[in-house]
Amino acid sequence: MNPILHKIVETKHSEINESRGKVLPDRTIPIRDWKSHLKTTSISVIAECKKGSPSAGVIRPDYNPVSIATEYESSGAGAISVLTDKSYFYGSLSDLQSVANKVSVPVIRKDFILDPIQIDEAYAYGASAILLIVRILSPEQLKLLHEHATRLGLAVLVETHNQKEVDIALDMGANTIGINTRDLDTFQIHKNLIEQIAPKLDSSIIRVAESGIESFEDWQKYKGMIDSMLVGTFFMKSKNIPADFLALLNGKTANRN
Question: Which residues are catalytically annotated?
Answer: 48, 50, 110, 159, 180, 210-211
This prediction has a pTM of 0.94
Query: Exposed, middle or buried: residue 2 (CB in 10 Å: 0-12, 13-18, 19+)?
Result: middle
Instruction: Please list, in sequence order, all residues whose beta carbon lies within 8 angstroms of the beta carbon of residue 209, skipping any fewer than 6 positions away.
Output: 178, 179, 181, 194, 198, 219, 222, 226, 228, 229, 230
Q: What is the pLDDT along the chain (257 residues), one digit of tens a residue?
A: 778 888 999 999 999 999 998 999 999 999 999 999 999 888 999 999 999 988 889 999 999 999 999 999 999 999 999 999 999 999 999 999 999 999 999 999 999 999 999 999 999 999 999 999 999 999 999 999 999 999 999 999 999 999 999 999 999 999 999 999 988 777 788 888 999 999 999 999 999 999 888 888 888 889 889 999 999 999 999 999 999 999 998 876 544 44
**List of domains in the chain:** 3-18+29-250 (3.20.20.70)
Question: What is the model's pLDDT at position 162?
Answer: 93
Question: What is the model's pLDDT at position 256?
Answer: 47
Question: What is the model's pLDDT at position 95?
Answer: 98
| 3-class DSSP state of 156 | strand
H or E segment to which residue 47 belongs: strand 44-49
Question: What is the model's pLDDT at position 182?
Answer: 85
Question: What is the model's pLDDT at position 252?
Answer: 64
